Amino acid sequence: MTVQTIDLAGEAPGSTRRLVRHSWGAAGARPKVYLQAALHADEMPGVIALQHLMDLLDVAEAEGRITGEICVVPLANPIGFGQWISHKPMGRQELESMQNFNRHYPDLATLVADALETKLTESAAENLTIIRAEMAAAIAALPVKSDLDALRKTLLGWSHDADYVLDCHCDHMAVMHLYASPLRPADTSLLCRATGARLALIQEVSGGNAFDEAHTVPWAVLKRRYAGRFPIPDGCFSTTLEFRGQLDVDDATGAQDGANLLAFLGAIGAVAGCAAPAHDDAPHYPLGGTDEAFAPQGGVVTWQKRPGDWLQKGETVAHVTDPMTRLRLPVTAPNSGLLFRIELWRHCLRGQSLFNLAGPDVLRSGDLLSD
């Protein structure tokens, strides 16, 4: 195992922040797998899962079982990790710019597409290498005006040439689920079977340029642009893995999640001698098939349903009680589907989103992710 550190310059005099990457296997070995956690810096379940995975990788390395290259960034966002206000963590947006840490990644297809016109060949395998090299050059040329720019540039520099990118997040209160591109459905199924995810939400472009899609959208765009001229491979499987809810942090769960991730690494040929994925595949539903419900008034939320429950349209999921008027209003399911996440807070303002469900039919399009 090797460790690489990169210091961000620091915006305040006398301050620096550090990114750390741990790597197993020979540099350049394939498949290359890149895993990171806590890009949203108040989401810790994935951090503990990766801690346990790293212990397992040390054992595998000692036994000579690492066959690919595995890179782990165990805490991807030291800027957000340090942001606390009045005893509350504020890890989702950078407070200086209020930008979501998991949005605004560069559009690599736009940056490399023109330069590729004179470089691509008749070989998909050669084009894979050529496109990755062009992406590396584009990332190296990205301007850095802030630590947030430097963070994005460093993470993408480490991950852009991986065959697999697993970005480990969590939701408020949720079942294990994941977001993926439609490009490589067999890998999506494999990851569901390895992790025990209950739901895969599929979309090519969700809006906002999240980290996972920064790795998949360029291949889809380039494939369309060069259709009939040059073969473009589906160069990367990338996913946002939602390790349940923010409070689901304990060593027993993390150890199981780490073992599940190792089963995935075994199944894709990055580590030898691993247990096989032990779960069933999950439904693959379109991200546009998710729906949400909003608070009919401000008040206190009490839940009748739990994440993982299947809802029928019109069914009561929660109540919101206004303690002053004593009015208790139901919150009903806007459609039938799997209740996969609910809000963490037990009080709400009128109009706030309270829960999301997912079904097989597309209901909406456009910008599909929350801020």
- Return residues touching Zn ion (CB under 5 A): 40, 43, 169
Report in angstroms how near the CB of residue 43 gets to Zn ion at its nearest.
Answer: 5
Calculate the alpha carbon distances from 118 to 122, 125, 131, 319 in Å.
Answer: 12, 17, 12, 61
Report in angstroms how near the CB of residue 243 gets to Zn ion at its nearest.
Answer: 10
Nearer to Zn ion, 150 or 210 (CB): 210
Nearer to Zn ion, 167 or 291 (CB): 167
The contacts of residue 216 (CB under 8 Å, 6+ apart) are: 181, 183, 204, 236, 237, 238
Report in angstroms how near the CB of residue 59 gets to Zn ion at its nearest.
Answer: 29
Report in angstroms how near the CB of residue 189 gets to Zn ion at its nearest.
Answer: 23
Among candidate residues 270, 352, 328, the one with its CA nearest the CA of residue 53 = 270
Report in angstroms how near the CB of residue 171 gets to Zn ion at its nearest.
Answer: 8
Q: Which residue has the tokens 């040390």?
A: 58
Among candidate residues 277, 360, 262, 273, the one with its CA nearest the CA of residue 51 = 262
Nearer to Zn ion, 43 or 212 (CB): 43
Q: Cα(206)–Cα(15) distance, rounded to whole angstroms?
A: 35
Nearer to Zn ion, 32 or 341 (CB): 341
Among candidate residues 145, 170, 171, 167, the one with its CA nearest the CA of residue 156 = 167
Nearer to Zn ion, 253 or 332 (CB): 253
* Cα dihedral sign, 42-188-339-310: negative
Q: Cα(328)–Cα(317) distance, rounded to whole angstroms?
A: 13
Report in angstroms how near the CB of residue 169 gets to Zn ion at its nearest.
Answer: 3
Q: Cα(175)–Cα(301) distance, rounded to whole angstroms?
A: 19
Torsion of CA 2, 83, 139, 226, to 10 degrees: 110
Nearer to Zn ion, 152 or 169 (CB): 169
Nearer to Zn ion, 43 or 94 (CB): 43
Report in angstroms how near the CB of residue 348 gets to Zn ion at its nearest.
Answer: 20
- The span from the first CA to the last CA of the chain, in angstroms, equals 36
Residue 8 CA, distance from chain mean position: 23
Asked whether 174 and 306 are in contact (CB, 8 A), the reply is: no
Nearer to Zn ion, 77 or 260 (CB): 77
Q: Cα(286)–Cα(275) distance, rounded to whole angstroms?
A: 30
Report in angstroms how near the CB of residue 253 gets to Zn ion at its nearest.
Answer: 17
